[in-house]
Structure 1
């Protein structure tokens, strides 16, 4: 769901027919001693030419949603997030994701937040996205090493689920509600609304169904008592599109796929994934948006 003032079109980059990027997910265990998964991690140093904002788009794998297949974005919609904070792209319902790269290694500064993610959250309309980070360990410039989730305030809370999967099925007719089935034996619909009447199922996915995987966040921040305007409050910390004005995240909160804290010297790639599966009534599905991502140490505020 986007603020009504915004309209988005989405192009689809790196979506394979019948398949999507699977996300490894993890949980936080504070009692465990941090480990160093890559003690010899290569560092790409900051130079005079380095940019504060992400400079490369590697993949865009949206879930179905009301802004998917619209006419206000296509390829440029996802690419608009690069090199600044005034772009805008929607990831669709749960599991939709986007992967970016920096032109340098963003260093992990102890005790400080390292990255800021700009979106379009407003009071009462947080749409939290899970944040993942990766080091370019093999030095090939591609996000093909290990993803680490950044633990947030909802990690391990009731309703937090790692490795949650959702399968979306193309509707017939294609402009109808999109059915989904989750790995918790749950199911539902990405419902259409009167504001957006195009197909919500991604046109670039040629298969009749596809599966997305990631970390499911609790829906306890959502107040559905007033069906005429369902509100969603921000989490305390750690998520994209949660706080008006942007969300700062700390690389020091990285955890591995077993929930252990890990110590990263820095990161080269970042992924944002819609974390909640929820229909907000006439406002549409809850869908994380991204406007820009920056290395705080380089951004001139």
Structure 2
């Protein structure tokens, strides 16, 4: 009898053990972060903060997972960032907030682009869609614009540029920042780059007033741009447009690109350059 009961007990124990071993392991929930979580690309245009800790990869990484500050340089300079999740396109709500360092009468607006990871490979290799702001299609706004920047002979020399309209100018240097303004970059063969071209959209410069050098102003646009409003710029994914300027419907986005939107010489203040201090998914901000 004891042997019978012993064998029965061992059999039940074995079954219990098998049942325990075959039970699925509970998944550990992934904690999504509100801030962008990865730096994908940083391509600044020339500027007075470029090649300093505010305008290099070190500066670009300061806004990953928190607030920091990075300068994008003159027109076209950009940064590409990724979230650790898909930012859902909320109906009739703003989805993303971008922080910069503007003042009440001095903003340096940057154009925002968004991308959905439609092929699901985790790379920013799908289609970029511009987020139309308040200046979309107004006088001075231009799509498919490009600028070629050329490295000057000396680091202290102004940086020449030529745009797709055939206009030319320079990013002026000043005595406050004496390092090279042309980005220290290598090509795919490891050689130092001496010129490069950036493409994008251009915003009007009608908000800028430099007639009184001691009172230069760059008034903010109404909405839809980075480094524009003092309390941060809320972006609605629903305002995304395609290459033809038509609205597109996105379920959500995984990547964001911010690009200096105005080509302007601000006198003794230097070039207009968008600065970014942080990017967050509004739906995940703790209140």
- Structures share fold, TM-score greater than 0.5: yes
CA–CA separation in structure 2 for the residues paired with 1:272 and 1:74: 15
1:149 aligns with 2:130: yes
Which position in structure 1 is the counterpart of 2:58? 76
Instruction: Name the CA shift for 1:115/1:222 in 2 (closer, same or farther; >3 Å).
Output: same
Structure 2 unaligned residues grouped into runs of 5+:
1-28, 187-191
Which position in structure 1 is the counterpart of 2:143? 162
Count of aligned pairs: 254
Which position in structure 1 is the counterpart of 2:9? none
Instruction: Name the CA shift for 1:225/1:163 in 2 (closer, same or farther; >3 Å).
Output: same
Instruction: Name the CA shift for 1:109/1:83 in 2 (closer, same or farther; >3 Å).
Output: same
CA–CA separation in structure 1 for the residues paired with 2:234 and 2:91: 14
1:282 counterpart (268, 273, 283) = 268
Contact 2:115 2:255 in 1 (8 A): yes
CA–CA separation in structure 1 for the residues paired with 2:215 and 2:265: 12
CA–CA separation in structure 1 for the residues paired with 2:111 and 2:132: 9
Contact 2:55 2:72 in 1 (8 A): no
1:267 aligns with 2:246: no
Task: Report the RMSD for the aligned CA atoms in angstroms.
Answer: 1.2
Shifted more, 262-271 versus 166-175: the winner is 166-175
**Structure 2 counterpart SS, 1:252:** helix
CA–CA separation in structure 1 for the residues paired with 2:175 and 2:265: 14
Which position in structure 2 is the counterpart of 1:127? 108
Which position in structure 2 is the counterpart of 1:21? none
Contact 1:130 1:150 in 2 (8 A): yes
CA–CA separation in structure 2 for the residues paired with 1:219 and 1:73: 23
CA–CA separation in structure 1 for the residues paired with 2:183 and 2:265: 18
Contact 1:221 1:232 in 2 (8 A): yes
Q: State the 1:72 CA deviation.
A: 5.2
1:204 aligns with 2:204: no
**Structure 2 counterpart SS, 1:282:** helix
What TM-score do you get using the length of structure 2 for normalisation?
Answer: 0.86
CA–CA separation in structure 2 for the residues paired with 1:208 and 1:89: 23
1:49 aligns with 2:31: yes
Q: State the 1:229 CA deviation.
A: 3.2
CA–CA separation in structure 2 for the residues paired with 1:147 and 1:72: 26
Contact 1:228 1:281 in 2 (8 A): no
Q: State the 1:300 CA deviation.
A: 1.5
Structure 1 unaligned residues grouped into runs of 5+:
1-46
1:106 aligns with 2:118: no
Instruction: Name the CA shift for 1:153/1:74 in 2 (closer, same or farther; >3 Å).
Output: closer
CA–CA separation in structure 2 for the residues paired with 1:177 and 1:129: 23
Q: Which entry has the higher C-alpha Rg, 1 or 2?
A: 2
CA–CA separation in structure 2 for the residues paired with 1:174 and 1:194: 12
CA–CA separation in structure 2 for the residues paired with 1:279 and 1:239: 20
What TM-score do you get using the length of structure 1 for normalisation?
Answer: 0.82
1:227 aligns with 2:213: yes
CA–CA separation in structure 1 for the residues paired with 2:164 and 2:267: 24
**Structure 1 counterpart SS, 2:160:** strand
